[in-house]
Structure 1
Amino acid sequence: MTPPDLDGLRALDARDPLASKRAEFLIPGGVIYLDGNSLGVLPARVPERMERVVREEWGQDLIRSWNTHGWIDLPARVGARIARLIGADADEVIAADSTSVNLFKVLSAALHVAAKGDPRRRVIVAEEDNFPTDLYIAQGLAALLGEARAELRLVAPHRVADAVGDDTAVLMLTQVDYRTGERHDLPAVTRRAHERGALAVWDLAHSAGAFPVDLNGAGADFAVGCGYKYLNGGPGAPAFLYVARRHHADAPNVLSGWMGHASPFEFTSRYTGASGIGQYATGTPSILSLSALDAALEVFEDVEMRLVREKSLSLTRTFIELTRPLCARHGFRLATPEDDARRGSQVSLAHPHGYEIMQALIAAGVVGDFRAPNLLRFGFTPLYTSHEDVWHAVQTLDTVMREGRWQDARYAERNAVT
């Protein structure tokens, strides 16, 4: 295949049905930002919304804003916006807490549902290379419940489906691998888990907002995800969780805080969970961060996720083709599947000096990130990334390598966040 040329890529951008969306983000000048898989760019609507929330809703209306400005309903409203992007109904998703806390909630609920159907089912099956916080939460939950009620079983990625057996309660997977960008076939894997009597819990941190997800169409049971990557909700933005409606009545939230109570303002001493998705709230919602996420999600209101996926594949395919000569010339290795169906919205390149190279690349104005031990990650957010961006990013990477910029000693100094 002939590598794409700049004129051809500009022609693609000229025909891009999502091109106008770029103006809805505040992208810093002189920066090509390819790290939306870690932290999304600031949407232009967010500062104005935050100014209003801080100065008017909090500053003037104070506590009255829980009612007059609907603060109390924000978790459900934001959840409903996210629901459309992940193939769920509005009453199956709530925005609250962090991905880690929400995973604890849904894993606990899934274990309860599975054990109720068959007491032998107590094993959580997960990939050994899954995102660490997911594994840590599962480890902590298993330690809390004890071996008789929960066990975490880690397996190699290619053995996940075969590892689901008669004692499996939950198959816990991240749809897109955070290191390589490889994407699981969510419907097929969910179906196999169900055929073997297990429930499926999905982490959509690298899926939601990056491409269409159809949880209900796949028959998924539970899901979690974060608000600060492709959803652009800001650093530490609230996460979300999904519980299929069929589980609402028999999958309790063990983190039974007052906001999940059926009548939180009756202040009774005994907990009675709310019906529906509301029971999966726990503590007081974070109004400032929820408001930022709510405003950020407005950018998706008129977007067809099918078009997002088409552009994502075009961007990542272009990057792969353009970097192919660099792999031969500079010793990179493509770590991401070339098969479109198996790729999320990021591409990772492996190199023994990946950290130093990424720091030099960032200094040159192309922002990606690094994941140990040797991966340079590049995330492609179709709403604000252009094909021309991809071209210039690869040319800059080639320059960094040809000129040996990465060998500067300052780029070997490890930052706290990589």
Structure 2
Amino acid sequence: MTLKAMLRSTVAAAAVVASVLLTGAAATPSPTPTPPIPDDPADPVRALEYWLDGAGIREAWQTTRGEGVTIAVIDTGIGKVPAAFGDAVVAGIDVSGSGSPDGRTPVGTIDPDHGSLVASVAAGRGKADGTGMIGVAPEAKLLSVSIGFGAAAVVPFADQIAEGIRWAVDNGADIINMSLTTNTLDWDESWDDAFLYAYEHDVVVVVAAGNRGSGTSMVGAPATIPGVLTVGGVDQTGTASVDASTQGITIGISAPSEGLIGVTADGELTPWRGTSGAAPIVAGAAALVRAAHPELDAANVINRIIKTAIQVPGVTEVPDPLYGYGLLDASAAVSASVPLVDENPMGDLAEWIRLYRRADSEPAPAPEVTPVEVDPLPAPEAPTEAGSPLLPSAESLRYGTLPLIVLTVPGILVGLGVTAAARRIRSARNARQQPD
């Protein structure tokens, strides 16, 4: 068990003891209800935040507002907007090589406001009179990790993510939000250790699924990494968004991704869309769950979110490639009774690494070979003395000279006899042919 989980367990145990002392019987610990947050639903800005009611966030505020939980936003940097964030941002860093050391200077030229928009949705403070943009967990703390994309980064992107995750973990993050994608299924091997580092330190990692409108037809890394809570997007009716979301078997939960609003790095309120906004809604909900149930580890926080999701009509099997386990219900995630789990329902990265990276695979055992006994070879014959190559040996006489004589002499005798006979015949013929 990690130190963070031990501390949460201690808090939960103290609640049980207090309950026993007061009632004389053990009871399930429950968080102390908090006073209603200053909130004016009639405010035009709050009225635009339809997810506050649609995702059960206002109801969850009756229990907790995220106090004591820290959300790290790994993005383009959270702008210094006192009205939006107040003292919410407690620390920051730049890992792109282009921003300021505190991670608060927006990085990049294409969408430098992105990090501020994400942070405002997750933990924007709102105004004291209950008006203005407010985040899902308005009492949670924020960490700003500024990263750069493409030409805006001096440091390679994979290195930025790995360093950003480790820094966030080391600086107290309970939840990490990553509203980004690589549009590829695979990821750099350096991310293996970085994400494992987060899991080993009991951190919930929430990532965006990506958007078709931005060219992402299927979820890409980091949404494909086992163990992360991947967020798909829906419109105001709860229907999977066509352009402001994508699909994939790793989607765990869905949240609004259309008709969103957020605060820019300059403090301006602006409309936006995409799973980049759906992810911080879920990250904020995870902060509410962690605040309400400090005894739970990251796996059970994720499990409460997906197991209490609102089922989508017509979806018969979960997880669904469009909706995951369903639509976010922050109130149920905070208050419902959900059995505990022993493993992260979104997968085991360590096991994936073992199977596919083979980093922890054991070497193949050496084959056992039974020795075979072989009869000894016969002793070599003693060498013979070498003779002159000009003199015949016994072997050459036996197998060469004698057979040659046997075959040659009769032939010579026959030849001589034939020659003698021929001479006699010739002499007799010559005698008969002489004149009288």
TM-score, normalised to structure 1's length?
0.26
Which structure exhibits the higher relative contact order, with contacts defined as CA atoms closer than 8 Å and separated by 6 or more residues?
Answer: 1
Higher helix share: 1
Larger Rg: 2
| TM-score, normalization by structure 2 | 0.25
